[in-house]
Amino acid sequence: MRNRLVFAFVILLLASMACSLFGGGSAGSEGGAPSAGGGEPQQDAPAPSGSGKYETVFPMPPEVENFMDLGDDAINYQTSMKLDDVVAFYRGEFESAGYDERDITTVINEDTFSIVWDGHPSGKAIVVQGVDLGNGTTNVNVRFEDV
């Protein structure tokens, strides 16, 4: 499990750097088109998307930039929210949806976090991971994983 977490953090960091290097656009208020969601139908969403600008089964805060639908029921984005605020956002969203946080796999430190929730109707776990990019931006990855 530890190797999977390290691998996921490396992927998050590489995706963030790619967005910065290649000018990954925002589909936010500048009029960009929403990314097409994949996988689960919208009615299976744990809660409605916070921004309302993207098709995804996952809740997102209103401050979203560089949204990417990675396919296979996974999304990645950056936000100006601090790491602790992102953790609080997802805890509030998923707890209110009735999901259970897997305390044994929760890892939160000053630069990264990884939290897993159980209870989605699909039977899959929801994994949320974040990395503080050090420039006032947090990279967030949310995905389903087989239990």
What CATH code is carried by the domain that includes residue 108? 3.30.310
φ, ψ of residue 4 to 5 degrees: the values are: -65, -40
Beta-carbon count within 10 A of 120 CB: 20
In percent, how much of the chain has pLDDT > 90? 59
Does 30 reside within a domain? Answer: no
Question: Considering the chain, what is the average pLDDT of its residues?
Answer: 76
Distance CA 121, CA 130 (A): 24
Q: Structural domain tally of the chain?
A: 1
Residue 67 pLDDT more than 60? yes
Residue 91 belongs to what domain range?
2-24+35-145
**pTM score, whole prediction:** 0.68
φ, ψ of residue 86 to 5 degrees: the values are: -65, -45
Contact yes or no for 7/13 (Cβ under 8 A): no
Does 29 reside within a domain? Answer: no
Of 29-33, 49-53, 57-61, 118-122, the least confident: 29-33
